[in-house]
């Protein structure tokens, strides 16, 4: 009941513009890596692997499971968001991936281009029927199967995620196949180094800037 009340309150605030938001320049690579280290144990309790990768799936990437001693230059992916709100979104998606998977690996990936930063979380779980995919982010919608009835939930988590992502001019969607797993994607507008430096200077003083030579 407490969870339901909190979700109802957050959902109502997200709809009428009262949701608390204090956006700052956030470097998503470091931000995500810190979150992954905090929540990894949730999956490991089910003997599931967790992998965090930065970079294009088709090119060079940096994995937190890489061999010790490897050094690669990681791109800086800055976005303008409230870190507390984005943490709420990421943890919700990660918890769902764990809850609806019995085994396998959860991959958290980060990539982007000059205009967009893309975050994704992929599992090897049950997958979502095609007829349910287009409704997932609606208020109170839940896939009706034996697993969802056993696990329970408010049906508001993904709705709230969508509202938060849209608050920062972003987009969230899912690609899934029954029996093979699901991948949730989030696209957010990317800040340039200059824009990030300007926002950091406004919020934390001129001493906190992005190192030169990074993008």
107 three-state secondary structure: strand
pLDDT at 137: 87
pLDDT digits (tens, 9 = 90+) for 107-154: 999 999 999 999 999 999 989 999 999 888 887 677 655 455 455 555
**β-bridge pairing 105-112 and 49-55:** parallel
What is Dmax (Cα atoms) for the chain?
A: 55
Angle at 12 between CA 7 and CA 14, to 5 degrees: 95
Distance from CA of residue 64 to its chain's centroid?
17
List the one residue out of 139, 134, 133 whose CA is nearest residue 163.
Answer: 139
Please, what are the averages of pLDDT over each run of 10 residues along the chain (215 residues)?
Answer: 62 69 94 93 91 68 45 82 95 92 92 96 92 84 56 73 95 94 97 93 62 54
Bridge partners of 109, per DSSP, are: 53, 120
pLDDT at 154: 59
The pTM of this model reads: 0.80
94 with 32: CB under 8 angstroms?
A: no
Token representation of residue 54? 């930065």
Q: Is 117 exposed, middle or buried (0-12, 13-18, 19+ CB in 10 A)?
A: buried
**β-bridge pairing 78-81 and 181-189:** unpaired
pLDDT at 93: 95
As a whole number of angstroms, the distance between CA 147 and CA 185 comes to: 23
pLDDT at 110: 97
55 three-state secondary structure: strand
Token representation of residue 130? 């095609």
32 with 119: CB under 8 angstroms?
A: yes
Distance from CA of residue 78 to its chain's centroid?
14
């Amino acid at each position: 009941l407490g969870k339901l009340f909190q979700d109802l309150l957050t959902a109502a605030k997200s709809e009428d513009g009262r949701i608390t938001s204090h956006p700052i320049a956030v470097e998503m690579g470091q931000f995500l890596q810190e979150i992954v280290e905090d929540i990894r144990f949730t999956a490991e309790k089910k003997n599931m692997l967790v992998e965090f990768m930065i970079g294009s799936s088709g090119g060079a990437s940096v994995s937190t499971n890489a061999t010790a001693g490897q050094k690669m230059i990681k791109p800086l992916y800055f976005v303008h968001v409230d870190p507390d709100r984005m943490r709420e979104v990421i943890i919700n998606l990660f918890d769902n991936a764990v809850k609806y998977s019995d085994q396998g690996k959860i991959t958290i990936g980060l990539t982007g281009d000059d205009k967009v930063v893309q975050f994704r979380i992929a599992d090897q779980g049950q997958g979502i029927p095609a007829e349910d995919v287009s409704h997932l982010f609606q208020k109170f919608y839940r896939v009706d199967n034996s697993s969802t009835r056993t696990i329970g939930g408010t049906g508001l988590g993904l709705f709230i995620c969508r509202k938060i992502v849209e608050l920062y001019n972003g987009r969230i969607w899912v690609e899934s196949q029954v029996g093979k797993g699901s991948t949730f994607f989030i696209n957010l507008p990317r800040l340039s180094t200059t824009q990030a430096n300007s926002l950091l200077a406004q919020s934390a003083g001129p001493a906190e800037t992005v190192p030169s030579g990074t993008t």
